[in-house]
Amino acid sequence: TGIRDRACEMLTDETDPSKRDFLEATVISYEAASRFVEKHARVAETLVGDTQDPERNKELRRMVQSCRRIAVGPPDSFHAGLQMMWFTFMYGARGSIGRFDQWMYPLYRKDIDAGTLMQREAQDLLENYFIKLNYIAGNNDSLRNIVLAGQTPTGENAENELTTMCLIAGAKLMLPEPKLNVRFFDGSSRELLELSCRLTYKGL
């Protein structure tokens, strides 16, 4: 919705017909994307009443909450962040995912600190996301690269818990996607180097 709203604001002052066409198309497209997410929330909500399994019921309610959130604004949880990234892929996004452990860590940390998510649950969600990325593997060269570690913009070590979790997920699943790329510099930890070497040794 943020991109849709920004396009709406730009439309108020834009007079160039071709630029207006582009901005109007952007509004229509992102509004449709939001409706698509909301539709998934409604479907998940109907499934809540169809299960007697308390664990599945909890999962479905979390899906509803995550989808409802990103249908109207930015993700506010680790689950919602992963869900938004998957919807983005469904909309046709291809190529590099980017600095995953940097984008997602604030959401992960927020949930862990609030006690709304356990590390084991976060690992399960992460592994499910990795599995989903293999649903449409095609020629096994989709360039779905995830970049881990390296440095922050201020030159500090960018490693965090999510860095290790991604490498553990890769080693456990041994799937073609996503492609894991690790950045090193003089301040990288020995543990990161050893874990990365173990993954390479396994053939990942």
Average pLDDT, consecutive stretches of 10 residues, N- to C-terminus, the chain (204 residues): 95 96 97 96 93 91 96 96 92 85 97 96 96 74 86 96 97 93 96 96 90
CB 185, CB 151: distance < 8 Å: yes
Instruction: Tell me how far CA of residue 51 lies from CA of 44, 48, 59, 61, 65, in angstroms.
Output: 11, 6, 11, 11, 17
pLDDT of the residue at 143: 72
User: What whole-number distance in Å separates Cα of residue 25 and Cα of residue 23?
Assistant: 5
User: What whole-number distance in Å separates Cα of residue 30 and Cα of residue 150?
Assistant: 33
**Closest-CA residue to 199 (of 176, 167, 173):** 167
Write the DSSP symbol of residue 128. H
**Closest-CA residue to 124 (of 58, 73, 182):** 58
pLDDT of the residue at 135: 82
